[in-house]
Amino acid sequence: MTGFNSIPLMNQTLKPVELEFGRKFRNLLQTKNMPELKVLRCGTYGSIQDLGRTGYRDWGVPGSGVLDEQSAKTANLICGNSENSGMLELIGPGWEFEFNQDTLISIFGADWHPEINHKRVRVQQNHVIKAGDILTMRYPGNGRIAYLGIAGGFQTEEIMQSRSWHPQITKSFILKKHMLLPYSEFVNSNFENDIFIKEYSKDLSENGIIAVPGPEWNLLNPEAIIQLNENEWTISNQSNRMAYFVEEKLIPVTGSILTSAVWPGIVQLTPSGQMMILLKDAQTTGGYPRILSISQNELNKIAQKYPGEKLQLKLTAET
């Protein structure tokens, strides 16, 4: 697989993008006088995401969207938002932000010892923000991805009914220092704050991942199936929002398959025996065998793993 198989098609015929130009300029007018968050310091990788764009896979458009849906949805809900509101997805600690107007925020997922104006605050909770407040999330802790929700959501441009950033779709695709991000004015001063989700239980150290056979499972030889059941698998440094790669090699299949549809959660096996767990920014078609399929609930756990951490696959169906 060489990146996005469908990108040339997108560049030539992707009319939905062309139809979005008018929407883009309307968005610029609407966000002109909105409150803004300023990026003062950057961590490893960050972007605006929502639940992604749907209905465009036939055009070769990846869905994008948040990698850990459980954390992201909860962060939005306790800010009074819909689950699909635009939010910050932050990969790796080291972040610092400044707010220029009052608002309500929430922090979910990874715990990087967040502070507001140098005062430690909890994750899995919402917090009232005043104009000029500084939020920092600088120190390594539990989990790889944190979500910053904000009342009303971030109001960046929409492309194909989604604010999710993607390198081949949106003008911006990675947070940068000094970037200004518009957000909604906070008008509900009576909204309950300091909601701590005590029931929110997320063991980020859990490494057991449930998987079911994929469409080309029957191409695996018996020794490869034994490997899948018994071995631990290490997440590679190559991993990104397109796919998490596995360091250890699986016995490869013989022969080839026709290019077929793929989606987040599909595990492909390369001719060299490397497994790839496809994520939200993955291409829409691929030519490698699809040996396993993993649900979104399990992808939520995988997304919180750093390179070097291990996974133990738990196969749940017989073939």
pTM of the model: 0.87
115-136: pLDDT as tens digits: 999 999 999 999 999 999 999 9
78-105: pLDDT as tens digits: 999 999 999 999 999 999 999 999 999 9
Do 47 and 115 sit in the same domain of this protein?
Answer: yes
Do 61 and 164 sit in the same domain of this protein?
Answer: yes
**203 found inside a domain:** no
Do 171 and 22 sit in the same domain of this protein?
Answer: yes
Comparison of pLDDT for 226 and 2, the residue scoring more: 226
Do 46 and 166 sit in the same domain of this protein?
Answer: yes
pLDDT (0 to 100) of residue 255: 75
Do 24 and 102 sit in the same domain of this protein?
Answer: yes
**296 found inside a domain:** yes
**70 found inside a domain:** yes
Domain range spanning residue 283? 208-315
In the 3-class helix/strand/coil scheme, how is 84-130 assigned residue by residue? CCCEEEEECCCEEEEECCCEEEEEEEEECCCEECCEECCCCEEEEEC
Number of domains in the chain: 2
**66 found inside a domain:** yes
**188 found inside a domain:** no
Lowest-confidence segment of 5-9, 147-151, 155-159 by average pLDDT: 5-9
CATH number of domain containing 251: 2.40.100.10
pLDDT (0 to 100) of residue 203: 67
Comparison of pLDDT for 89 and 32, the residue scoring more: 89
Comparison of pLDDT for 193 and 240, the residue scoring more: 240
pLDDT (0 to 100) of residue 318: 55
CA distances (Å), 159 to each of 19, 51, 54, 92, 176, in order? 9, 13, 11, 26, 20
